[in-house]
Amino acid sequence: MMESGAHFCNSCGEQVGHDANGEVFVACHECYFPICKACFEYEVSEGRKICLRCATPYADRAKDDDQTTMAAQINVSQDVGLHARHVSTVSTVDSELNDESGNPIWKNRVESWKEKDKKNKKKKSAPKAENEAQIPQEQQMEEIQSSEAAAAEPLSAIIPIPKSRITPYRIVIVVRLIILGLFFHYRVTNPVDSAFGLWLTSIICEIWFAFSWVLDQFPKWYPINRDTFIDRLSARYERPGEPCQLSAVDFFVSTVDPLKEPPLITANTVLSILAVDYPVDKVSCYVSDDGAAMLTFESLVETADFARKWIPFCKKFSIEPRAPEFYFSQKIDYLKDKVQPSFVKERRAMKRDYEEFKVRINALVAKAQKTPDEGWTMQDGTSWPGNNSRDHPGMIQVFLGHSGAHDIEGNELPRLVYVSREKRPGYQHHKKAGAENALVRVSAVLTNAPFILNLDCDHYVNNSKAVREAMCFLMDPVIGRDLCYVQFPQRFDGIDRSDRYANRNTVFFDVNMKGLDGIQGPVYVGTGCVFNRQALYGYSPPSMPKLPKSSSCCCCPSKKQTKDVSELYRDAKREELDAAIFNLREMDNYDEYERSMLISQTSFEKTFGLSTVFIESTLMESGGLPESSDPSMLIKEAIHVISCGYEEKTAWGKEIGWIYGSVTEDILTGFKMQCRGWRSVYCMPLRPAFKGSAPINLSDRLHQVLRWALGSVEIFFSRHCPLWYGFAGGRLKWLQRLAYINTIVYPFTSLPLIAYCTLPAICLLTGKFIIPTLSNLASALFLGLFLSIIITSVLELRWSGVTIEALWRNEQFWVIGGVSAHLFAVFQGFLKMLAGVDTNFTVTAKAAEDSEFGELYIIKWTTLLIPPTTLIVINIVGVVAGFSDALNGGYESWGPLFGKVFFAFWVIFHLYPFLKGLMGRQNRTPTIVILWSVLLASVFSLVWVKINPFISRADSSSLSQTCISIDC
């Protein structure tokens, strides 16, 4: 491995090396863009004489390479600007740069690369000569320079939040922190002796809320926006007359139960993927059927057949979105605008074809409702291998592909592959994470694209250029090398305008994720994410320096060395694997036997498993299949890598691929990558990249939140807890760590939240309060705290663009989910840790009823509904009792009542969407509920005034004696 001070070429990935004077080679003295001498000479010979980063023309150089060194340039020129901050001298040992015979290693490797490149240049030389003969030389040079200048521009740009918006926001955060300190000082030093238990409970809850606010707020300290330039991407990698150089992408679609995840929805997702605006030979779609359902297989057969008509129609007329169900459901009058008559005619014909396609899919679904006693049978008379979903062999079927069927116009189609991994009793299959890892291996054997885009079966491609948006980051030579993934926000269809249960998660996707993008990158949210395959393999970023030999430093005492030994050992093993891969890159001169021997000797099998074909694919950073691979044997090898015992005694799910150990494998997988030093990027195109179907009724929404919260609790009790994992090397930034800590501790807020929501009712029923009589200073502190909360929210809305309604819905469902799903997740997490009791979750439904928003108002009773219902009832009872007591107590009792009722109404207002969901109607409360509520409230008030059970016996006896004396 190279020393930490070495620089690597951004073109070929090798070390930059030295010039004839023994100094570090520098091509551009303006920005010091790292490029080796071989790549520089190649760029110049091709006519590209400008820097790839800053577009500055290269200075004239003699063949003897008489140029100044980097260190000398810094000493001579003092006005090099900000670039000088990033320049460091290189100190390496000669023996590390030379082989045994004394020849430079990097030069030998570059020579092999140049030999391959010469073959490509010979193929292109003939057509180039013809074009140059037709175009005048001066005009040709001008066109080359202009195109090169456009291609050399950055593919994306960071747009920071204006200072006029972000600076006041930061100031208010600091001021609010100071007010919180003064507030807690007052609360702790002024106990309420008459209600000490209630006061102590409230103090503990308020301290936890403040801690939770810090975890949530400070990662938003530096939010940013990003912009992409797709035209520059095309100018750089899709030049006319040259082969397309865009990287290939493998799409992953995962599904389990076709009866809960309708095949029609999955088919629309697949069709939108196959029709993306991207080179056909660069797209492959892998559908994982983890339920081994014949219904899913047959629906894909129909989908592949319909794709032959749908794909050319989309690309001919630039259709958006390219999922037919959602395209045809758009309420657009195409006859109103002046459009081509041919388009209207073809659109009508395509809609008829799609309706027939829907009829065939629905017929398959109707047939699959009742499974035959003998199981399903295929057309050739043999039984379906997946009749037993828990005990079946691995299945792979390639429907479309480069050598398969063409569309109706005779054009090539993207590859579509059906995958169902092997399942046997006695093996742990790890649910969705295991299915995704199986797709990683299958795709590596069959296509091996350098990038992977995973989608849920209900998330279709809404923006056909979404892949190009991601490539603007991943293929950027400056920032792309250290990117592990590009995350897109989730957007949803089928939600009513009021978004009663905060299904859109607008605050999280438009506020929190923007803040994380300014630190080390957004967290992985499970879908709509484009991965760098090398990052999934567990490697460190190419530019990440080696860890120091000693884990202690000037700011960390040596006592911590023993604590981080295991983490340092894992990093050392990872660097050993990186070194092995680096040394095995040039294996073209070995035959198949020598190659397999070299691979087995480097203990790759202990990491990746017993598959030579797959291990060879991991060595190809740019993707593609190895030249030594036998196409006839690839399917057999793909079946082998999805066998249920393949991952045993390997690093799958531990260090590479999707990480096991939590039902929220997405958070864990992204966390492990960023602990290795990778960063991620948040991409928010104007047209949403992907859209999905959210579980919109109350019960399904609470079960979804329960699953997320339980996954966070599992991570909290695992070895991957961000509180202690990944400190060795310091590769995870502190604000990023705070964000990950927040993602695992937020379910525990349910305990203080449910206690705090109960306090107002108890105070109203007992006549006691958690706050003593307020002084002027205390009143100012309370007023300042409420004002700071309001101003923080307003300024956050200002820089994020989120609406007030979305913020209020998020706040409401934070309380609803906190007192129900989060509470159950905490207890289930404790049960799993202490007693080993595991919880199985049903997949949330992905489709609504026929009527619009019909499923929103269906009540599916579940135990999750009990805590919020109880809180609503006791707070309403408390309010009624408080007013009844005030009427009975006279004028002086109305003052203390105001504070108690304010907190009770705070709880009721936050639980109001839950109350509406419980009613089961939209804008219509059943009359019987109103009548019974008024009747019970009236009866309870009269009984309360008459009995008043909270008066002590001494008070009642003294009261009777007073009455007697008055009568006398």
Give the active site residues: 290, 666
- Coil, helix or strand at residue 656: strand
Report the amino acid identity of residue 616.
E
Q: Are 244 and 238 contacting, i.e. CB atoms less than 8 angstroms apart?
A: yes
CA distance 512 to 265: 29
Q: Are 278 and 242 contacting, i.e. CB atoms less than 8 angstroms apart?
A: no
- Provide the annotated binding site: 254, 260-261, 290, 431-432, 456
Burial zone of 582 (CB within 10 Å; 0-12 exposed, 13-18 middle, 19+ buried): middle
CA distance 484 to 370: 44
- Provide the annotated binding site for UDP-alpha-D-glucose: 254, 260-261, 290, 431
Neighbours of 598 (CB within 10 A): 15
CA angle 448, 449, 454 (to 5 degrees): 110
**Which tokens sit at 651?**
């690093």
Report the amino acid identity of residue 953.
R
What residues contact residue 182 under an 8 Å CB cut-off, 6+ apart? 781
Angstrom CA distances, 306 to 280, 283, 312, 403, 412, stand at: 17, 18, 11, 18, 15
Distance of CA 54 to the CA centre of its chain: 32
Dihedral sign, Cα of residue 735, residue 740, residue 741, residue 745 = positive
DSSP string, 409-440: TS----EEEEEE--B-TT----HHHHHHHHHH
Neighbours of 788 (CB within 10 A): 19
Please compute, for residue 859, the number of CA atoms within 13 A of its CA located in the half-sphere on the CB side.
13
Looking at residue 508, the DSSP 8-state letter turns out to be I
**Which tokens sit at 453?**
């885009």
How do 483-487 and 529-532 pair as beta strands?
antiparallel
Q: Are 233 and 471 contacting, i.e. CB atoms less than 8 angstroms apart?
A: yes
What residues contact residue 151 under an 8 Å CB cut-off, 6+ apart? 232, 235, 236, 239
Q: Are 670 and 720 contacting, i.e. CB atoms less than 8 angstroms apart?
A: no
- Residue 697 φ then ψ, to 5°: -80, 160
- Provide the annotated binding site for Mn(2+): 432, 456
- Residue 928 φ then ψ, to 5°: -60, -35
Instruction: Strands of 694-776 (E only): list them.
Output: none
